Structure formats: C-alpha cells, structure tokens
Amino acid sequence: MTQGTRPPGKTTIAPEVLISIARLTALSVPGVRRLSLAQNDLNRIIRRGENEGVVIKVQDDTVYADIHVILNRDVNVRDVSRSIQTQVARAFSEMVGMEVGKVNIHIEDIDFSAVSES
C-alpha cells in the first residue's frame, strides 16, 4: 500500500471507549483523588457516561469532554486541571486520532480527609 492511500472501510469508535480513555487518563494524573458524578439536571440524565464523571460529545469528528473530579488536598488546582486537560487531549489524539475541541474540568470537591499520595 502506498503512503497516503487508505484501505477501504471505516473505523467506528463506541462512546464508551472515549469515556474510558478520558476516565483512566484523568485518574492517572497526580492529585486526582477520584471522579465525581456529573450534575443531575434533566438534560444530562440521558447522556452516556454521566455516572462515571465524564460526559463526552462528538460533533463533526471533534471530541468534547467534561470531566468532573475530586482532588487530593495540598495540590495546586490550576496545575492539576491543566495537566488533566493536556493528558486527556493527548490520549484522544494519540489513541484514536480524533481532533479535540475542548476538555473542560469541573472541580467538584477537595478531599481533605485523604492523605495525598505521592
């Protein structure tokens, strides 16, 4: 096969795959304690992945993600948020080759009872 020639057919990626990528990548970022439930308003109840702290939307072959997290205490919230955004966007791009629109991070709480893991 010559370079630039695509084989016949197409690849479809289930929304659950994108949710798993975002979820596992966010949880791997130092400072993230766990994911939080996404808001429970009526419009979000029907969206997939809501109960996992990740809401994914794909529009025009571009992925948009909202990730709801609970952070460890004693972390820089801005740095952790940017790290989640960067790593999730990179994971989407590298693992599934999709264009990334936005990765929105929602800090739902800080876990002051937990000891920060290093």
Look at residue 9 and tell me if it is in a domain.
no
Look at residue 36 and tell me if it is in a domain.
yes
The answer, yes or no, to whether residue 34 has pLDDT greater than 80, is: yes
Residue 64, domain extent = 15-111
For residue 115, how far is the Cα from the chain centroid? 24
Look at residue 7 and tell me if it is in a domain.
no
State pLDDT tens for residues 77-108.
Answer: 999 999 999 999 999 999 999 999 999 999 99
Q: What is the dihedral of CA 21, 73, 81, 104, to 10 degrees?
A: 70
Q: How many CA atoms lie within 13 A of 8 on its CB side?
A: 0
State pLDDT tens for residues 64-77.
Answer: 999 999 999 999 99
The answer, yes or no, to whether residue 116 has pLDDT greater than 50, is: no
pLDDT at site 15: 87
How many domains, the chain? 1
pLDDT at site 106: 96
Rounded CA separation 14/97 (Å)? 14
Query: What pTM was computed for the model?
Result: 0.79
